[in-house]
Structure 1
Amino acid sequence: MMNKLMMTAASAALLWMSGAAAADDPAAGMTLAQKNACLSCHGVDKKIVGPAFKDIASKYAADKGAHARLVTKVKTGGKGMWGEIPMPPNPQVSVADTDKIVSWILSLK
């Protein structure tokens, strides 16, 4: 019984540590972008329907308030910043995941 309890605790600790490591991993943002179909409309290096993620990073590189505004834009959608084709809202993506995706996008150079 004691060994089983120790193994459960060790497994929980490993899961917690792997989750913490994933939160610090910028590649997690790309994984979330793929999972949430962001790459259907945006390429990393090229425009598809919406702008390339690297173009977004470049445009907002010096803008200290960009992160919060882009999180809102992903969640609520918008139109006009990059042309007439609107970006649909993505309310199904959690704020935490949206935050990681935007952080990853803004890290692209």
Structure 2
Amino acid sequence: MKKTLVALGALVLAAAPAMADEALAKAKNCMACHAVDKKVVGPSYKDVARKYQGDAAAVSKLTTKILKGSSGVWGAVPMPANAAVSEADAKKLSEWIVNLK
């Protein structure tokens, strides 16, 4: 019983950061243009994760794109800068995105 509770607790803790960062994406209005697993205005977060897979600088690149905006990477629609997102939150979002499977 104790091992089961420990395993369950570890599972909850492992899932908590993913849920928290999706909640952060919702709170910062990122989900108006993105979704986890489908294209909306911008690419899905899973597509972004695949694009940057294996790129050691992915978190840094995505953090900059979140903060300053981007254009031409995913088509003609530009991503605006997100002044309401702090650098720490942008980094947290970037880490969450690149770790999506």
Tell me the TM-score range normalised by the shorter chain.
Answer: 0.7 to 0.9
Deviation at 1:26, TM superposition (A): 3.0
CA distance in 2, matches of 1:108, 1:54: 6
Q: Which has the higher contact order (CA 8 A, sep 6+)?
A: 1
| Partner of residue 81, structure 1 | 73
Q: 1:92 aligns with which of 59, 80, 84?
A: 84
State whether structure 2 residue 23 is matched by structure 1 residue 31. Answer: yes
Larger Cα-atom Rg: 1
Distance 2:96 2:50 in 1: 13
Give the Cα separation in 2 of the matches to 1:84 and 1:58.
Answer: 20
Cα RMSD after superposing both structures? 1.4
> For each residue in 1:33-88, what CA deviation from the matched residue of structure 2 results, as whole angstroms up to 9, or x when unmatched?
00011011001110000000000001101111111011000000010110010001
Show structure 2 runs of 5+ residues with no match. 1-12
Q: How does 1:31-70 map to 2 (within 5 A)?
A: 31-70=23-62
Unaligned runs of 5+ in 1: 1-20
Query: What SS does structure 1 have at the residue aligned with 2:65?
Result: helix
TM-score, structure 1 as length reference: 0.75
Q: CA deviation at 1:28?
A: 1.8
Deviation at 1:27, TM superposition (A): 2.2
**TM-score, with structure 2 as normaliser:** 0.81
